[in-house]
Chain A
């Protein structure tokens, strides 16, 4: 996905952020960020609330003053420039459409500022509305539109000025679920078609993964990991990222090394890993993070096989979300969520089959924060 967009970079501009620090009334929110945005790329800034993702977007757009560091767009540092001189267009979470103007006036505002004639504005707005599937809506009041339509008008207003950079501040969070899914694809398609550099702030993991070619996971004003959706999902760089990306089961492990092999023990179960796989493991106390679909239920005395742990446990709770059963299993002093097709009674002693290859393992000392 990424090389393709890189190759057909259209009007998109490159952004390069260096040692960016931002503070609100004395409290530092961003602690020296370095980040590059390739022309035509779609980057999602992802993190829980208060991690600084919105602040980063707002300092890119110039709404938040920068304490130190630089934001270079097209070879020029814009960190000290007012918002109107940055050539970035933003779509707001609240849409921020002007209620005293019609659809035409909203979308045409930026064109009017640029001294375009009325005929040019009307033509461009018509084209934009056509593009957004809102033909003929020119003279509607924006207050008379539905949420999805407002969203499109807001997008049209941003795109009408042919920006090199499109900033998206949780633009989908006020829409209902069905329209949100359609808008994801529409925004992505438009970004691809125009070759824009897009920066999208969201707290919705799935939204970020489906829309972006690159994720930036933020944590407490710092960058926790940058990578493609696959990289971040399959190879999280830290316990925080693993947990944030949905690996919410935590299993304490002991790793011992001997002759290039590693012996892993957890809650009375033991498995050995050969040289290559073992090299990646930390030594000593560790925590393993994994998703609900990784572990499976098995008999207590099932053969471990190679690279699997069979951890003894007891079924503590059961739910039926549809298709499969979801169990909470008490094992190794933790509650672990496991999906399984079979129906088992509460209190049943089971063996939790956990394939070591699919665990994200971090030293306990580092992982402590997210455990």
Chain B
């Protein structure tokens, strides 16, 4: 065998391996999604059939019917998510700015304070929260759910906001003060616009977290407040895989949009400062 033929065989094997790896990657990434899509259009599907017996959009129609549970809980989910973003940003913008500009000892104390909720099992925390909320009579309200979601979202949003503010060069603020801007004017015209991509990213992150949140909603919201993840849970429990799949697909949309936003707008130097 000539060396030429050997290189050809070697490169052929390499190609084969690469193709295999790519296929495996696609399977793990796209496989579950494909399964969801398949289930969402399967009107009848039972063993031993590998594919649905009857295809149709009956369940999609059911979900998107104006009077359907799904649309109502989608609206609830989005409403809660929007309120959560407002509450989280109202806190994380000042907190993030303070963290970015404070000296070190206070800084780490602050950080720990915001990270603490993540350190404990969430179920244990939410049971206690539910008890307290029940006592003060706000259990089962949108307000209670927003509070729980915001507390959860703050962990990330404060962190990201702090990184976004830290990436703003202090000289840029001083330059504004120097030619006559008050501290507030400096913040609104220089610091905030420059940190905006990071702040928006943290807002989107909080929005997605809220949209996805299950445990907290379950403990403080049920039965009055039904969000999309709760609906998905109920549908899956009831064996209705079609509605569960469609709900899951709806939940996926904002995540994909977020990925695209991050890729497009968030500067690498902001990302690098997250957690530093």
> Which residues of A are at the interface with B, using a C-beta cutoff of 8 A?
61-63, 82-84, 88-90, 92, 94, 96-100, 109-110, 113-114, 157-158, 161, 163
For the residues of A in contact with B, the DSSP-based class is loop
A110 B194 Cβ-Cβ under 8 A: no
* Residue B274, interface by CB 8 Å: no
CB distance from A200 to the nearest CB of B (A): 16
Chain B residues in 8 Å Cβ range of A83: 174, 177-178
A92 B171 Cβ-Cβ under 8 A: yes
A97 to B219, CA, bound (A): 50
A88 to chain B: closest residue by CB: B178
Partner of B178, one of A90, A94, A98, A99: A90
Q: Taking A100-B194, A110-B179 as given, write out 7 further A-B residue pairs in contact, using a Cβ cutoff of 8 Å, ordered by the A residue number.
A: A84-B177, A90-B174, A92-B174, A96-B169, A96-B171, A109-B189, A113-B185
A99 to B191, CA, bound (A): 11
A163 to B180, CA, bound (A): 11
6 shortest A-B CB distances, which residue pairs? Answer: A110-B179, A96-B175, A96-B171, A83-B177, A113-B180, A84-B180
A167 to chain B: closest residue by CB: B178
Knowing A96-B171, A113-B185, the reply to whether A82 touches B194 (Cβ < 8 A) is: no
> Which residues of B are at the interface with A, using a C-beta cutoff of 8 A?
169, 171-172, 174-183, 185, 189-190, 193-194
A98 B190 Cβ-Cβ under 8 A: yes
A100 to chain B: closest residue by CB: B193
CB distance from B212 to the nearest CB of A (A): 32
B180 A114 Cβ-Cβ under 8 A: yes
CB distance from A264 to the nearest CB of B (A): 52
A109 to B189, CA, bound (A): 10
> Would you give 29 A-B contacts (Cβ < 8 Å), ordered by A?
A61-B178, A62-B177, A63-B174, A82-B177, A83-B174, A83-B178, A84-B178, A84-B179, A84-B182, A89-B179, A90-B174, A90-B175, A96-B169, A96-B175, A98-B175, A98-B176, A98-B190, A98-B194, A99-B194, A100-B193, A109-B181, A110-B179, A110-B180, A113-B179, A113-B180, A114-B180, A157-B179, A158-B179, A163-B179
A92 B194 Cβ-Cβ under 8 A: no
A114 to B179, CA, bound (A): 10
CB distance from B148 to the nearest CB of A (A): 35
Partner of B181, one of A90, A92, A113, A163: A113
Chain A residues in 8 Å Cβ range of B180: 84, 110, 113-114, 161
A161 to B178, CA, bound (A): 11
Chain A residues in 8 Å Cβ range of B179: 84, 89, 109-110, 113, 157-158, 161, 163
B185 to chain A: closest residue by CB: A113
CB distance from A175 to the nearest CB of B (A): 17
